[in-house]
Chains A and B, each alone.
Chain A
Amino acid sequence: MSEHIVSPKVYIVIFLALMVGTTATVWAAYQNFGQFNIVIALAIATFKATLVVLYFMHARYSPKRTQLVIVCSVFWLAIMLAMTLTDYDTRTPRDSRLAPPAISHLFRA
């Protein structure tokens, strides 16, 4: 067996890094970065998710074909998000592209 055993030390370091990331994301949410708040939040979340995939889920030590499947999942997700959001962003007439539908009559005041 050529199985790679990840040592508890690595797991604990990754756990601490995830804790730092969680603290950073809460701290960043209370700062006003304007439009960049969401970008920073997603960047930190993606960094944390990458650590989990590489070390907790052993992707770094997996065979190449498993790594290919992992990369494909991100790629297909990117296709779904990019194509759909492009569609929403280029609807014509442009003023109706993301306009809220008129639904207020369905609710009591």
Chain B
Amino acid sequence: MHRTGELYGHFETLEQQKETATLGMWVFLVTEVLFFGGLFMTYTINRHAFSTAFGVGSNTLDLTLGGGNTVVLILSSLTMAMAVWSAQVGKVGWFGIFGKVRWVSIFLIATLVLGTVFLGVKVVEYKQKFDHHLVPGRGFDIRYRSEHPTASDNPKEIAAEKEELEKAFAKDPDINAHAQLYFSLYFGMTGLHALHMIVGAGLLLWLIKGSFAGRFTPQYNTPVEVVGLYWHFVDIVWIYLFPLLYLIDRHQ
């Protein structure tokens, strides 16, 4: 296959080549929508059937960490969009000791850093769930945290949690089993989302390498645009996951 610069032989123009690539990416994202859609449907059916257990499970999540992560992820979408813009206009600037640097590199690195922060916070949240015996399986015990408070726990919070659990057990005696469905979906959905973030981080590393080599110019920046589409899609999944997992039953 012959190739002139970045233009492959079977395309007439770079513009046609770019439109083809973004269309292909969108077709892939359609399959991703249906892939995550199946999980959201499973969530809907189970939440409807076991609303008490889902409410109790949701209230164990840390809203500060989850909300903070939402801000971090949306900010990373902004830096990704700015990376696309920097590549499109070919902006170059001086960055102190680093000398002349392309802005696209700066914004791609910022996106990677924010994505890594998101995954780091997710690790802290998962660790809490392991500590509180909230991982589905034999050791699962929804009462564990309220019965084994540590010195750092607020006694008022623990008392409130105990009361909430008592009411929940009165409504649904099998809540210890049903809450495991909530946590299976929590780990499954956030885990699959995190896996997409890890793939995205790998793609970003590849882009950063290319941007330092000066591969992305106002004439040719399709890889930045296409990875951008993927990154924003992962952001959209989180935009739905956040209220559905963290905010089910906060008003009680």
- Where the two chains meet, the residues of A that have a C-beta atom closer than 8 Å to any C-beta of B are 1-3, 5-8, 11-12, 14-15, 18-19, 22, 25-26, 29-33, 37, 41-42, 44-45, 48-49, 52-53, 55-58, 62-63, 65-66, 69-70, 72-74, 76-77, 80-81, 84-85, 88, 98-100, 103-104, 106-107
In the bound assembly, the distance between CA atoms of A72 and B33 in angstroms comes to 11
Q: Are B34 and A22 in contact (CB under 8 A)?
A: no
User: Is B111 part of the binding interface, using a Cβ–Cβ cutoff of 8 Å?
Assistant: no
Indicate the size class of the contact surface on chain B.
35 or more
Does the CB pair B247–A25 fall under 8 Å?
yes
B69-90 contact mask (Cβ, 8 Å, vs A): 1 or 0: 0110011011011100100110
Question: B243 contacts A42, CB within 8 Å?
Answer: yes
Q: Which of B12-20, B93-101, B118-126, B195-203 is the interface stretch?
A: B12-20
Q: Check B77 against A104 for contact (C-beta < 8 Å).
A: no
Bound CA span A103–B174, Å: 8
**What sequence of 0s and 1s flags, for each residue 41-74 of chain B, a beta carbon within 8 Å of any chain A beta carbon?**
1001100111000000000000100010011001
Which residues of chain A are near B78, meaning CB under 8 Å? 11-12, 14-15, 56
Q: Interface with A: B2-10, B127-135, B158-166, B233-241, which one?
A: B233-241
For the complex with contacts A2-B15, A8-B85, 19 further pairs of A-B residues with Cβ separation under 8 Å are: A6-B85, A11-B85, A14-B78, A15-B75, A25-B247, A29-B247, A30-B250, A30-B251, A32-B251, A45-B239, A56-B235, A62-B22, A73-B29, A77-B33, A80-B34, A81-B44, A85-B41, A98-B45, A104-B177
Q: Is B45's CB under 8 angstroms from A26's CB?
A: no
B205 contacts chain A at the CB level, 8 A cutoff: no
Tell me the B residues contacting A by CB distance below 8 Å: 14-15, 18-19, 22-23, 26-27, 29-30, 33-34, 37-38, 40-41, 44-45, 48-50, 63, 67, 70-71, 74-75, 77-78, 80-82, 85, 88-89, 173-174, 176-178, 219, 225, 228-229, 232-233, 235-236, 239-240, 242-244, 247, 250-251
Whole-angstrom distance between the Cβ of B244 and the nearest chain A Cβ: 7
Q: Which residues of chain A are within 8 angstroms of B49 by Cβ–Cβ distance?
A: 98-100
Given A6-B85, A70-B26; A107-B74 close (CB under 8 Å): no
Q: List 26 A-B contacts (CB under 8 A).
A: A1-B14, A7-B85, A14-B78, A22-B70, A22-B242, A29-B247, A29-B251, A41-B244, A45-B239, A52-B77, A56-B77, A58-B225, A65-B23, A66-B22, A69-B26, A69-B27, A69-B30, A70-B30, A73-B29, A73-B33, A80-B34, A80-B37, A81-B37, A84-B45, A88-B45, A103-B174
Contact of A26 among B30, B174, B247 (CB under 8 A): B247
Nearest CB to that of A65 among chain B residues? B23
Q: How far is the CA of A62 from the CA of B225 in the complex (A)?
A: 12
Return chain B residues, CB-CB under 8 Å to A65: 23
The answer on a CB contact under 8 Å between A44 and B243 is: yes
Given contacts A15-B78, A63-B19, whether A3 and B88 have CB atoms under 8 Å apart is yes
Contact of B67 among A5, A15, A26 (CB under 8 A): A26
**In the assembly, what is the distance between CA of A42 and CA of B81, in Å?**
25
Min distance, Cβ B247 to any Cβ of chain A, angstroms: 4
Look across to chain B and name the residue whose beta carbon is closest to the beta carbon of A47: B239
Residues from chain B with a CB closer than 8 A to the CB of A76 are 30, 33-34
Query: In chain B, what residue has the closest Cβ to A16?
Result: B78
